[in-house]
Amino acid sequence: MFKTVLFPIDGSRETREAADVVINIVKKYDSRLVLLSVVDPEAPGGMSSETEVAKLLEGAKTLFAQQNITVETLEKTGIPSFTICDVADEIDADLMIMGTKGLGLPKDDTSQSVAHRAIDLAPCPVLIVP
């Protein structure tokens, strides 16, 4: 059912909590798992450095390897919500799994979270883990 699962990560608590759901789904459906982290040079407090993102991806890869799950990792630069959805389209993802909010959470109510914008733009179903 879910041949390819995209899991965008950013190092937030919500991302770490969503990892358990990702593990369960990937194991149940024997899915291909693609981890994505987006470098956003303009994000205050977000994933703004390639070194930071590479370290995050390596740590996540190790976490999934401990569960006997092989992962592919991608590092992209851009506006997270748009980049995540572009990658989902490029890899023909059947499912995207995200935490409700991450490091890019807006400080005020005037803008949407990355997850909220990704729901609107996604080319596939999106599972949001609270």
Domains and CATH numbers, the chain: 4-129 (3.40.50.620)
**Is residue 50 pLDDT above 50, yes or no?**
yes
72-112 pLDDT per residue, tens: 999 999 999 999 999 999 999 999 999 986 554 444 444 57
Most confidently modeled range among 37-41, 44-48, 77-81: 77-81
Its pTM stands at: 0.89
pLDDT at 111: 57
Between the alpha carbon of residue 85 and those of residues 2, 23, 55, 121, the distances in Å are 17, 21, 22, 6
- Backbone angle region of 74, left / alpha / beta, with phi > 0 → left and psi within -120 to 50 → alpha: beta
Sheet containing strand 95-99, strands side by side: 71-77, 32-39, 4-8, 95-99, 126-129
- 3 with 14: CB under 8 angstroms? no
pLDDT value of residue 105: 46
Q: CA quadruple 95, 34, 55, 120: dihedral positive or negative?
A: negative
- pLDDT of the residue at 52: 82
